[in-house]
Structure 1
Amino acid sequence: MKKILFFLLTGFAATAQILSPIQKSHPQMDDKRLAYIDTVMEEYVQKNWMVGSTTLVIKDNSVVYFKSNGYADLANKKPMTNEAIYRIMSQTKAITSVAIMQLIEQGKLRLDQPVGDFIPEFATQTVVKEFNPADSSYTTEPAQRKITIRDLLSHRSGIDYASIGSAKMQAIYAKAGIPSGLGNFNAVLLDKMKSLGRLPLAHQPGEKFTYGLNTDLLGCLVEVISGKTLEDYFKANIFEPLGMKDSYFTVPLEKSSRMPKVYTENADKQIIPWDPTFRNLDPNYPLYPHTYFSGGAGLSMSTFDYATFLQMLLNGGVYNGKQILGRRMIELMTSPQINRGNDDFGLGFNITSKKSAQLNVVSEGTFAWGGYYGTNYFVDPKEKLVVLIMTQHTPNSHADYGNKIENIIYGSLKK
């Protein structure tokens, strides 16, 4: 009898960790106040400030709000649905960061180990000293130390971004054919990262935070160390164990209709479709078979799938009875490593600091990030909240809806 009771209790505990996409009331949340989210998002659609969105709020492992507003395709008046598969761009970074921490946990590398131990092109690096914008020529000086895995996770290696980084590094990377990772590339990831290793850094390692191709390099390290493509590694070690069935580098043709259109704004701030030639970024890239798997920006997935991943992090690395990553590893990832003004940055996440929590409703220790096309998330360990606000619209001159939704959610909390 004791064995049966133990099985029932442990079985219930494991089952209780499984999220259901069905919205339910929560004793500590005010449903009427949460409904203000719908009012705000519908207002933005009606005022032509937004085409479509999906918002998901989880409290204590239970979905308390899950609704889509507006359109997935404005021209055809196709409604946005909760099953939409979004291009999550830089939200890919959290997945890649977890993957590298899994390998650290397995003893296959160390957090402060030099990247050059695995990719020799990073063994001896230089830093830009003087740059000539007329011809993109530059002089260099030696790097004072080698860049490490920790540097990459906290974006303080000195590696910048192609296409969206500083002007000088964009020019240097363009001349060397370094891709941004945004969109579709049929190059070999390792080849491009080796080329990146031969180029100078924007500044000395550890000197400051510079958002760059650090996570693409981390993805390459996952491939080198595991012997698998990033696509295969994610599938075997993260997606399948978590039951994430709508997460892809290449979205299957049979699911392509679930992808919303991408929008931007013209000079008058009116919403227009994203042209495939705009910024050399074709939004159909998730549908093209490719071999370059960007750990910094390559994934597409449903809102619920990403919520499942975030819930695993909030659970201390456990979901549905499966240990994806150790509790202490997640604590380390969500601990401040470097200051970024009002906020801090951990190992893959922005972290709400004490100072920032005193200025806004989000709790100290909340970790968050977003994606280039307008997807955003945050996880509040104190309140046991997971929140995702997903759109496909950038730039957006009316992106203040995010702060409004935060205020609504925290205003909905009961004692």
Structure 2
Amino acid sequence: MVALGPVLLQICNVTNTPGISVGVMHRGELIHTANYGFGDVERKLAPNEDTTWLMCSMTKGVTAAMVGMMVDEGKLDFTTQLREIFPHYQRSDAQANITIADPLSHRTGIAPYDGLWLSSDNQIVMERSQAIPTFSYAPAANPLRTKFGYNNIAYEIIGQVLEEISGSTYLD
């Protein structure tokens, strides 16, 4: 991992990223950490293990991997419909048939409506408990599985699927 330090710094320079932290887990144990650049640019402070980073869409890959693990373990199937897991997910249109695979591939057809949960200064303003009711009533922008349509709320719901199936919180 030490050899990756210069490469990570070069990536930060090329992408104009002020800082980065890396952690390597093996069998549930943290075996290596490294921090590069700045965790606080204004005060020129280096990041450390307690630095909070905005991960944004990087969590989507982690979420998809976690779903894949549950599929491999036989706890979930990509064809499982949301309404099978969440009976309160109620729709009367084709989107009633949304499966686990549809949000993962951004093919739900439901309009993205990020303004419902994210303020103009990127603060989350909607409670997680409102994701499924919001998704249940959000209008369809396209027929199910016909077009790519980036949808953050759909991924929040997949996170809730993982919680429901595993019995653990998403953060765990």
* TM-score strictly above 0.5: yes
Corresponding residue for 1:138? none
Kindly tell me the number of residue pairs found equivalent between the two proteins: 157
Contact in 2 for aligned 1:156/1:206 (Cα 8 Å): yes
**What does the per-residue CA deviation read over 1:260-314, in whole Å, with 9 as the maximum and x for residues that have no partner?**
xxxxxxxxxxxxxxxxxxxxxxxxxxxxxxxxxxxxxxxxxxxxxxxxxxxxxxx
What is aligned with 2:19?
53
Displacement of 1:159 in angstroms is: 2.9
Offset of residue 73 of structure 1 = 2.9
**2:29 — aligned with what?**
none
- Structure-2 change in CA distance of 1:85 and 1:101 (3 Å): same
1:54 counterpart SS class: strand
The structure number with the bigger radius of gyration is: 1
Aligned residue for 1:245?
none
Match of 1:104 among 71, 87, 109: 71
Counterpart contact for 1:67–1:82, Cα < 8 Å? yes
Tell me which stretches of 4 or more aligned residues in structure 1 moved more than 6 Å: none
**Cα displacement string for residues 318-359 of structure 1 (whole angstroms, at most 9, x for unaligned residues):** xxxxxxxxxxxxxxxxxxxxxxxxxxxxxxxxxxxxxxxxxx
Q: Deviations over 1:156-204 (max 9, x none)?
A: 11134333xxxxxx4xxx4xxxx249645573x3443133213322211
**Aligned residue runs from structure 1 range 373-392, under 5 A:** none
Unaligned runs of 5+ in 2: 23-33
Aligned ranges for residues 15-414 of structure 1 at < 5 Å? 21-23=1-3, 37=10, 41=13, 50=16, 52-54=18-20, 68-69=36-37, 71-78=38-45, 80-81=46-47, 83=49, 84-126=51-93, 143=94, 146-163=97-114, 170=115, 174=116, 179-180=117-118, 183-184=123-124, 187=127, 189-212=128-151, 213-231=153-171, 235=172
Q: Deviations over 1:17-47 (max 9, x none)?
A: xxxx42279xxxxx8xx69938x82xx7xxx
Quote the offset at 1:152 in angstroms.
1.2
The TM-score, its normalising length taken from structure 1, stands at 0.32
Q: Secondary structure at the match of 1:217?
A: helix
Task: Write the distance in 1 (CA, Å) between the matches of 2:113 and 2:129.
Answer: 16
Percent identity of equivalent pairs: 22
Amino acid at match of 1:193: I
What is the letter of the counterpart of residue 197 of structure 1? S
**Alpha-carbon distance change, 203 to 88 in structure 1, aligned in 2, over 3 angstroms:** same
- Once the two structures are superposed, what CA deviation does each residue of 1:345-394 show, in whole Å capped at 9, x if it has no partner? xxxxxxxxxxxxxxxxxxxxxxxxxxxxxxxxxxxxxxxxxxxxxxxxxx
Greater strand share, 1 or 2?
1
1:91 deviates by 0.7
- In angstroms, what is the RMSD of aligned CA positions? 3.7
TM-score, with structure 2 as normaliser: 0.68
Q: What amino acid is the match of 2:36?
A: S
Higher relative contact order, chain-length normalized (CA < 8 Å, sep 6+): 1
SS of alignment partner, residue 19 of structure 2: strand
Counterpart-to-counterpart distance in 1, 2:35 and 2:131: 40
- List per-residue Cα deviations over 1:93-151 (Å, max 9, x = no partner): 1222222222222323321122111123445343xxxxxxxxxxxxxxxx277111111
Counterpart amino acid of residue 140 in structure 2: L
TM-fit CA distance, 1:210: 0.6
Which AA in structure 2 matches 1:158? G
